[in-house]
Amino acid sequence: MEKFDVIVIGGGAGGLAAARAAKRFGCRVALVEKNQLGGECTWTGCVPTKSLMRIAQVAHEAKEFSCYGLRAQQRITWDASGVFNHIKQVIQKTAQTHTPEALRAEGIEVFFGSPRFIDRSSIALGHSALSAKRFILATGSRPAIPPIRGIDEVPYLTNRTFFEQDTLPSSVIILGGGPIGCEFAPMLSKLGVKVTLVEANQRLLNNDDPELVGLLTERFTSLGIAVHAGLKISQVAQNGEQVVLTGATATGESRTLTADKLLIAAGRKPNLEGLGLEAAGVKTTPTGVVADKYLCTSVDTIYACGDIVGPYLYSHVAWRQAEVAVRNATHSWWRTKVNYDDVLWITFADEELVRVGMLEDEARKKYGKIEVIRIPYSSIDRGRMDCATYGLGKFITKRDGTIVGASIIGPRAGELIHEIQMARVAGLKLYELARVMHAYPAYNDLLLKAAREAYRLRLEQSSWARWRHRWFGSF
Ligand SMILES: Cc1cc2nc3c(=O)[nH]c(=O)nc-3n(C[C@H](O)[C@H](O)[C@H](O)COP(=O)(O)OP(=O)(O)OC[C@H]3O[C@@H](n4cnc5c(N)ncnc54)[C@H](O)[C@@H]3O)c2cc1C
């Protein structure tokens, strides 16, 4: 039986990061993958969706030439097969950074197959067996299919099958108004697909700021997306070429929706089948593997990271968990935890919607008095230059200026949020950003304006700050 220090199971976002982290610690590492290295993120998640999003954005911006006083001589036309080919090329280029050859060159042994635990320190793989002092489970998740009557009798798409197509439907119903549904909806709409977006909760994107989600929902409607929040679908059927969904609103009104295709984006299911976790003694729940704050499962030789642990299903969270799991697995005297207070995310929904830290309500409950600073994109020069005046930044601080949360919707919000994250993690008060020189004209002006507003509030509240300001000037 071949022996390793660490065996990582699953070669997606978390597994690749775990294998590389274990190698950096000088371990003998094996990575076992069932399908192809890269996982959901490379093949059917982050990479293809963001590539398609860019294409949709370019097509949409071309329609808005008139904002700049430009007139296009010809209509922009495109063919779906060209678009899907471009996306496949982007995926292939991304996958080249984690080929089996690249990993072997880094000193990581790569095996393909379906591993099965024999006991807490060995797995069977085909006709052979491998053993290790520690295991890292990183088998990820797949689309969850909600138990709706008739769902198994109609053809449906998920993020797994969407990019296998080479045409776009003329109309689609997207089931699920979470991050995945809210990314597909605007991009398909901008590419000319008639989109209906259905969410059982009363609003889209339950984990994001309600005010900003409200703006996004209005934006979706203005793009022509039919948004049905608070609609619970109870039956799905096929009628000729059309898929028909029926359901009821919270007030009991029934609704019938039809389209060419159904795209399911209604949550995720962990990939745990066939691993023989019972043989090793690893406890699981319907949402994944049970792991403690050190990412150790119920068996002290087996750790886990990524979507099978949650609670935040993002590649960057999987990477961070992978590093922490490997450190804890290999250095029991030097254990650490993932700081989930620092979790941030970007939803690429029309304009980017980002969140870090607390929402307004959470902060009010925890701290009582807080400051909420709102800066619209229409107030920043760069936005006006780019015809990008849609959007809002919302910054939440304690009364002393400590940043407790921020949410932004608008152009480049995904980049902007990192300045706020850096300030939070470094313990800077929001008003302190105002003394950091920012280049003009940039979207970061949004943060500078928020910092100046925080400084103004600080002067109002603190006689010491007023005194200092009076004698020594600003900041
Ligand atoms: C449409 C979509 C868009 C997304 N966009 C983003 C984004 O923009 N940013 C972001 O941060 N996150 C995004 N995500 C989430 C991100 O893709 C996941 O959170 C991330 O891939 C989780 O990493 P993981 O390692 O847990 O799982 P994965 O990356 O899925 O990797 C799991 C790997 O394990 C393998 N495996 C499964 N079972 C076994 C087994 N029994 N034995 C061996 N190997 C096995 C799989 O084949 C796979 O390679 C998106 C997800 C989706 C669906």
Q: Is there a cis peptide before residue 311, judged by omega within 30 degrees of 0?
A: yes
Helix runs in 64-122, H state only: 80-95, 100-105
Residues 6 or more apart whose CB falls under 8 angstroms from that of 100 comprise 37, 110, 112
Give the ligand 1 atom nearest the CA of 313: 19
Does residue 176 contact residue 266 with C-beta atoms inside 8 Å? yes
Read off the pLDDT of each residue in 206-215 and give the average, rounded to a whole number. 97
Read off the pLDDT of each residue in 82-88 and give the average, rounded to a whole number. 91
Token look-up 């990939």 returns: 271
Q: Cα–Cα distance between 232 and 148 in angstroms, integer?
A: 10
Q: Tell which wins on pLDDT, 11 or 383.
A: 11
Confidence of residue 211 (pLDDT cuts 50, 70, 90): very high
Fold of 151-266: FAD/NAD(P)-binding domain (3.50.50)
Question: What homologous superfamily is domain 2-142+269-340 in, according to CATH?
Answer: FAD/NAD(P)-binding domain (3.50.50.60)
How many angstroms is it from 386 CA to the middle of ligand 1? 35
Closest C-alpha among 439, 384, 389, 450 to residue 417: 450
HEC profile of 8-46: EECCCHHHHHHHHHHHHCCCCEEEEECCCCCHHHHHCCH
Mutate to test the pocket of ligand 1, among 8, 36, 40 (most ligand atoms within 8 A of CB): 40
pLDDT for the residue numbered 98: 94
Give the ligand 1 atom nearest the CA of 32: 43
Q: Cα–Cα distance between 410 and 388 in angstroms, integer?
A: 8
Calculate the CA dihedral of residues 383, 385, 388, 393 and round it to 10 degrees.
0
Does residue 413 contact residue 391 with C-beta atoms inside 8 Å? yes
How many angstroms is it from 40 CA to the middle of ligand 1? 4
Does residue 262 contact residue 243 with C-beta atoms inside 8 Å? yes
How many angstroms is it from 34 CA to the middle of ligand 1? 13
Is the shortest distance between the CB of 316 and ligand 1 below 6 Å?
Answer: yes
pTM: 0.95
Confidence of residue 461 (pLDDT cuts 50, 70, 90): confident
Nearest CA to ligand 1 atom 40: 34
In percent, the amount of the chain with pLDDT more than 70 equals 99
Is the shortest distance between the CB of 347 and ligand 1 below 6 Å?
Answer: no
How many angstroms is it from 62 CA to the middle of ligand 1? 33
Nearest CA to ligand 1 atom 37: 139
Give the ligand 1 atom nearest the CA of 141: 30
Of 22-31, 347-356, 459-468, which range is least confident?
459-468
Give the ligand 1 atom nearest the CA of 50: 8
Is the shortest distance between the CB of 258 and ligand 1 below 6 Å?
Answer: no
Mutate to test the pocket of ligand 1, among 41, 97, 302, 319 (most ligand atoms within 8 A of CB): 41
Is the shortest distance between the CB of 48 and ligand 1 below 6 Å?
Answer: no
Q: Please give the structure tokens belonging to residue 18.
A: 């775990």
| CATH 3.30.390.30 domain extents, the chain | 350-472
pLDDT higher than 90, residue 69: no
Measured CA to CA in angstroms, residue 337 lies from 5, 267, 369 at distances of 22, 26, 30
How many angstroms is it from 280 CA to the middle of ligand 1? 23
How many angstroms is it from 142 CA to the middle of ligand 1? 8
Is the shortest distance between the CB of 140 and ligand 1 below 6 Å?
Answer: yes
The bridge status of strand 109-112 relative to strand 268-270 is unpaired
> In this predicted model, what pLDDT tens digit does every residue of 40-68 receive, in sequence order?
999 999 999 999 999 998 888 888 887 88
pLDDT higher than 70, residue 368: yes
Is the shortest distance between the CB of 330 and ligand 1 below 6 Å?
Answer: no
pLDDT for the residue numbered 59: 86
| CATH 3.50.50.60 domain extents, the chain | 2-142+269-340, 151-266
pLDDT for the residue numbered 424: 96
> In this predicted model, what pLDDT tens digit does every residue of 250-269 receive, in sequence order?
899 999 999 999 999 999 99
Instruction: Identify the three-state secondary structure at position 402.
Output: strand
How many angstroms is it from 141 CA to the middle of ligand 1? 6
Q: Cα–Cα distance between 55 and 257 in angstroms, integer?
A: 28
Give the ligand 1 atom nearest the CA of 305: 26
> In this predicted model, what pLDDT tens digit does every residue of 10-29 receive, in sequence order?
999 999 999 999 999 999 99
Q: Quote the distance between the C-alpha of residue 12 and its chain's center.
A: 15
Nearest CA to ligand 1 atom 35: 10
Measured CA to CA in angstroms, residue 132 lies from 123, 249, 375 at distances of 9, 53, 53
Residue 117: strand pairing partners: 123
pLDDT for the residue numbered 80: 81
Confidence of residue 81 (pLDDT cuts 50, 70, 90): confident
Give the ligand 1 atom nearest the CA of 307: 26
Closest C-alpha among 419, 426, 425 to residue 445: 419
Question: What homologous superfamily is domain 350-472 in, according to CATH?
Answer: FAD/NAD-linked reductase, C-terminal dimerisation domain (3.30.390.30)
How many angstroms is it from 129 CA to the middle of ligand 1? 26
pLDDT for the residue numbered 474: 63
Mutate to test the pocket of ligand 1, among 160, 271, 323 (most ligand atoms within 8 A of CB): 271
Mutate to test the pocket of ligand 1, among 135, 139, 183, 275 (most ligand atoms within 8 A of CB): 139
Token look-up 């290790």 returns: 132
Read off the pLDDT of each residue in 439-459 and give the average, rounded to a whole number. 95
Confidence of residue 475 (pLDDT cuts 50, 70, 90): low
> In this predicted model, what pLDDT tens digit does every residue of 302-319 receive, in sequence order?
999 999 999 999 999 999
Instruction: Identify the three-state secondary structure at position 391.
Output: coil
Reported as type and span, the H/E element at residue 383 is: helix 381-385
Residue 397: strand pairing partners: 371, 403
Q: Cα–Cα distance between 426 and 19 in angstroms, integer?
A: 29
